[in-house]
Structure 1
Amino acid sequence: MLRTRTTLRTRTPDLKTSRRLRTAFLASAVSVCLIAASAPTPAPLGIGDRLFPHLGNPGYDVTAYDLAFTYPGSNSKPLPAVTTIDARTTAGWLEQFNLDYSHGTVRSVEVDGVPAEFRSAGEDLVVTPAKPLRFGDRMRITVRHDSDPVSTKDQQSGWVRTEDGLAMANQADAGHRVFPSNDHPSDKAMFTVRVTAPDGYTAVANGLPVAKTRRAAGTTWTYRTEHPMATELAQVSIGRSSVLHRSGPGGLPVRDVVPTKDRERLEPWLKKTPDQIAWMQKHVGDYPFETYGLLIAEARTGFELETQTLSLFEKDLFTRSEYPKWYVESIMVHELAHQWFGNSVSPRTWSDLWLSEGHATWYEALYAEEKAGRPMEARMKAAYRASDTWRGAGGPPAAPKEAEPGEKLSIFRPTVYDGSALVLYALREEIGRSAFEQLQRAWVSAHHDGVADTADFVRLASGIAGRDLSGFFKAWLYGEKTPPMPGHADWRSAQPAGKSAKRAR
């Protein structure tokens, strides 16, 4: 998920402990155009996620998205779009249903080819089909709309305007600012993406290319995923770009998308990816998807993002001299590790974020230890010192505090990065290196292409360790204070400012 960074200081051993989210996008007011209808008063729904209560929708399960965008040649104009959603109903009698959608004009909605009434409610689009749907019915929803890349007051990410076009950053809850969806990671689906762009532009999306059609209006590029994907991981790049191809382990197609003018300058970094994939495979098993690569954009986001099969990076990460080589490479591995932890195995709720960010941070740190001599123990000891402060500010790893008002990206706090990697370090100390490494492989294998939560992880870890670890995890994942570190009785956590020196053990 999001990986933020700041300018490096003279001291670098605990760089990650000092990183904070530094910026986000201006947010957007809802601008969904509505047609009056005789349906019941619409209301925003959700599936009860503790951190995002109105995200996702009950009553149906999405199986596939088909997204079609027409780029007008300017990243400050709305993109005409058609979103087609294939879904199956999970409710007994569905008279209306909600889609997550905001920040774009809706022109029409059809259900199974028949016009449907629609209204807005908060950031939801409430659809009333011509006939109620029964349990288990398959339905195809077609929404013709505009997708607006211009941010307004309450928008944080979605479309990212780059120097020469657009990219996407939909995490955590911004996918529905780009296209109508069931915008929660627990409802993964297959994706087909079609982008029509004028001559001189290149469009790339998640998955593999399946068609490229030239028309008078430009070229239509079509991509399709071979594995299900969460909406927050969708990626579309439109720009004056070059697509660079190379082979990864076992012939895996690796493709990078870079500004054409910078391809030679960036090549020394891009050629590192195949070896990094091989390193990750050695630790956790086969790469889980059909392709991988880096999307390097000229944009100011303040983070890197693990969009599925095509991770988003700011160009500055690779061109600013203050970032040491080992640091840049470890950030590359962080986003790569997410392809296993967070993408292939997605969090069931946003409170399970620690499973994604903790593991990505773990492999980032392990890579820095093995390849650059940056000791894991030193980093974890520094994290332990800061852990109580992080828990006080952001909550314990598996029960993070809600986002600050108007700052939804603020759930990405240190407690879910190094604070969660610290939990994994404690687990390795508790059960031993061999069992820990077995657990990592078993986790990504058991939940491949699925969703999983903290309880699933606790059960699997207990089974591999051969003993009940629920008490260990309760203390480390939900405790207000950081428990003693197994094997390191001398480690101490600094007291948060204004707190008593007394510690609970």
Structure 2
Amino acid sequence: MQLTSPRLRAALLAAASLTLVAAVLPPPKPLGIGDRLFPELGNPGYDVLSYDLSFTYKDNRTPLDAVTVISARTSQPLDTVNLDFAHGTVASAEVNGEPARFESAGEDLVLTPARPLTGGSPLHITIRHTSDPRGRGDGGWVPTDDGLAMANQADAAHRVFPCNDHPADKAYFTFRITAPAGLTAVANGMPGAMRVPRAAAATTWTYRTLHPMATELAQVSIGVSTVVHGTGPHGLPLRDVVATADREKLDPWLKKTAGHIEWMEQRVGRYPFENYGVLIAHAKTGFELETQTLSLFESGLFSGQGYPEWYVESVMVHELAHQWFGDSVTPRTWSDLWLNEGHATWYEALYADGLGKYSLERRMREAYQRSDQWRAAGGPPAAPKAAAPGQKIGLFRPVVYDGAALILYALRQEIGAEAFDRVERRWVGEHRDAVAGTEDFVRLASQEAGRDLGAFLQPWLYGKTTPAMPGHPEWGGAAGAAGTAGTAKKGAAGAAKKGAAPHTKAAGAEKRV
């Protein structure tokens, strides 16, 4: 007796076949691009061209509904596509317009397309998911008194949205943020159309970057905020985001940004992006953070807690300098972080020196005295210590701040101020909107110096001990009082009050910035 029709029997056979295939496939596993410090970040086989991120915000206790659309191109044949993603629930996934199977493996989301992907072909991914703002202390969304902000550096963007979470894969971004009436949403880039439904229960805000951006530099701010508009050098649009209640008292600080940009442009050339501003949030982060076109600051920095004006301005310049060093020119690997933080610290120190408040030479001498102990604690500047098994990496340590700025000081001492200035301008000019690493910097510096600087820079970059400082035999060996990472910004507060060298961006050894 025939129990099923031929059509139903065929469907059942097909379903059984799919079940069998799923059963024999190996379980998904997290991948990475082999970064020495974050080996499972990033994913091989494709290059992301753009992200289109949609978030619907309700409150800080409720996961945001989100849609991530990724446009990419494969670089090799792929049977599966790995994305970095955690702290959210996936509802559905599509690859090139067809439903795709999705599974989690570690902090990877593994997609199996309906059909294998060929190399060199377009890749279009749509993922409907949630994004959880409830903090776990490992970065991503940062709760503020009235909403949210983002702090994705170094390895936390994938705790907000599915992505290829490594700075080597930069892409363009579009943000669409829906928030209840009375709140303002701001993101990296230029504002687009704002949609206000008739019921006025919520507003959707749109922003687009005009330059490619690393995932760790993404920023979304939602809160009871005011956006203050201004104009910088060459007509550059400025927009600052502050709590509405703080608007008047913060105005003197906001007015300093145009002068800071002009100061930086005199040293390294034109500002590299479409706009700039500061986001001053009511949040306890323990750090300030460069996010592309919109730098994040704790409101406490500006609230008269004993920080002298010169120190606050130098911190503002530090984050601004990152727009060139770290944002426009992005590190090829996380071991190249010294190029970000060393340069930002260098211009921070140079600015304070220009104000006559804290001399560059004094700061570098004191850094030199602590350099060997910084290297012992955190590794050399261009090869920071990797995390021990089962531990989080303490990447943001003094050795990549003042310890790395010390390399730049040594380079200037070795090749002269004019050649050094040419190196700086050429570095941000030739690598604008791109990625570059330590070898690229050594090569460029050698070209400007007219001789191979590899032997000179090698011990500065990778040595366990600090070389002798050119032009300063009186400095002696690099030994002195311990400069632990815990003295970073927390110590800088007291240091600034006493006139000692500030050290920005980290409140402690394990703070992510």
Q: Is 1:198 aligned to 2:183, yes or no?
A: no
Partner AA of 2:70 in structure 1: I
Distance 1:317 1:369 in 2: 20
1:48-74 CA-partner distances (Å, limit 9, x unpaired): 0000000000000000000000001x1
1:361-411 CA-partner distances (Å, limit 9, x unpaired): 000000001123421000000000000000000000000012467764621
Secondary structure of 1:389's counterpart equals: helix
Distance 1:311 1:37 in 2: 46
- Once the two structures are superposed, the pairs formed by residues 97-496 of structure 1 within 5 Å of their partners are 97-152=81-136, 155-215=137-197, 216=199, 217-403=201-387, 408=392, 410-492=394-476, 493-494=478-479
Q: Which residue of 1 aligns with 2:68?
A: 83
Q: Is 1:41 aligned to 2:11, yes or no?
A: no
Q: Which residue of 2 aligns with 1:33?
A: none
The Cα shift of 1:272 comes to 0.1
Q: Residues 248 and 277 of structure 1 are in contact (CA less than 8 Å); yes or no, is this contact kept in structure 2? A: yes
Change (3 A) 1:404 1:334: farther
Q: Which residue of 2 aligns with 1:71?
A: 57
| 39-48 vs 481-490, greater mean Cα deviation | 39-48
Distance 2:142 2:377 in 1: 29
* Greater RCO, 1 or 2 (C-alpha within 8 Å, sep 6+): 1
Secondary structure of 1:331's counterpart equals: helix
Secondary structure of 1:140's counterpart equals: strand
Secondary structure of 1:430's counterpart equals: helix
Task: Report the identity percentage.
Answer: 67
For these two proteins, the number of residue pairs brought into alignment is: 458
The Cα shift of 1:341 comes to 0.1
The Cα shift of 1:320 comes to 3.1
Q: Name which one, 1 or 2, has greater alpha-carbon Rg.
A: 2
Secondary structure of 1:168's counterpart equals: strand
The Cα shift of 1:37 comes to 4.9
| 286-295 vs 397-406, greater mean Cα deviation | 397-406
Distance 2:386 2:253 in 1: 36
1:404-435 CA-partner distances (Å, limit 9, x unpaired): 67764621000000000000000000000000
Partner AA of 1:132 in structure 2: P
Q: Which residue of 2 aligns with 1:51?
A: 37
Q: Residues 392 and 496 of structure 1 are in contact (CA less than 8 Å); yes or no, is this contact kept in structure 2? A: no
Q: Unaligned regions of 5+ residues in structure 2, if any?
A: 1-20, 483-513
Change (3 A) 1:379 1:495: closer
Change (3 A) 1:405 1:323: farther
Distance 1:407 1:380 in 2: 32
Secondary structure of 1:256's counterpart equals: strand
The Cα shift of 1:97 comes to 1.4
Q: Which has the higher helix share?
A: 2
Change (3 A) 1:96 1:398: same
Partner AA of 2:327 in structure 1: N
The Cα shift of 1:340 comes to 0.0
Q: Residues 45 and 124 of structure 1 are in contact (CA less than 8 Å); yes or no, is this contact kept in structure 2? A: yes
Distance 1:406 1:429 in 2: 41
RMSD: 1.3
Partner AA of 1:221 in structure 2: W
Distance 2:259 2:391 in 1: 37
Secondary structure of 2:330's counterpart equals: strand
Distance 2:391 2:453 in 1: 35
Secondary structure of 2:174's counterpart equals: strand
The Cα shift of 1:321 comes to 3.0
Q: Residues 243 and 256 of structure 1 are in contact (CA less than 8 Å); yes or no, is this contact kept in structure 2? A: yes
Partner AA of 2:375 in structure 1: R
Q: Residues 326 and 372 of structure 1 are in contact (CA less than 8 Å); yes or no, is this contact kept in structure 2? A: no
Partner AA of 2:468 in structure 1: P
Change (3 A) 1:274 1:495: closer
Secondary structure of 1:255's counterpart equals: strand
Q: Residues 369 and 481 of structure 2 are in contact (CA less than 8 Å); yes or no, is this contact kept in structure 1? A: no
TM-score of the pair, normalised by structure 1: 0.89
Secondary structure of 1:67's counterpart equals: strand
1:323-353 CA-partner distances (Å, limit 9, x unpaired): 0100000000000000000000000000000
